[in-house]
């Protein structure tokens, strides 16, 4: 899980590099929802263009000029191997939010 959070945080930092007209904010939050633990990593970066939203977790898909397109695919595999799920949504004002849902203790 540490690698998952590190990769998503790194992506968020990359997404905020071009931002010059507003505050760059990276928020990492955790919450307990029903029986799940949810970790949300949200940035105020450039966000994911609507045409790419359905593809961000595909292997070898990238929007970065020098990206390999493996990071989020591997993150999703790691989360799923722990019985969880990884999803993405638009950020509240700008950017993107990634949500790691993991089963809580029974």
One DSSP character per residue, the chain reads -HHHHHHHHHHHHHHHTT--SS---EEEEEEEETTEEEEEEEE-S----GGGGGGTTSTT--SSTT--S-HHHHHHHHHHHTT-EEEEEE-SSSSEEEEEEEE---
* 10-residue stretch averages of pLDDT, the chain, 106 residues long: 96 94 96 91 93 90 80 96 95 92 82
The reported pLDDT for the residue numbered 106 is 54
pTM of the model: 0.91
The reported pLDDT for the residue numbered 69 is 79
Q: Return the CATH fold of 2-103.
A: Heat Shock Protein 90 (3.30.565)
The reported pLDDT for the residue numbered 104 is 85
């Amino acid at each position: 899980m540490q690698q998952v959070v590190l990769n998503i945080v790194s992506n968020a930092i990359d997404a905020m590099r071009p931002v010059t007209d507003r505050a760059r904010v990276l928020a990492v939050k955790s919450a307990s929802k029903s029986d799940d633990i949810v970790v949300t990593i949200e940035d105020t970066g450039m966000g994911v263009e609507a045409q790419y939203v359905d593809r961000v977790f595909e292997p070898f898909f990238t929007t970065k000029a020098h990206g390999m397109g493996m990071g989020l695919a591997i993150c999703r595999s790691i989360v799923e191997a722990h019985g969880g799920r990884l999803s993405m949504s638009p950020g509240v004002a700008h950017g993107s939010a990634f949500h790691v849902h993991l089963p809580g203790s029974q």
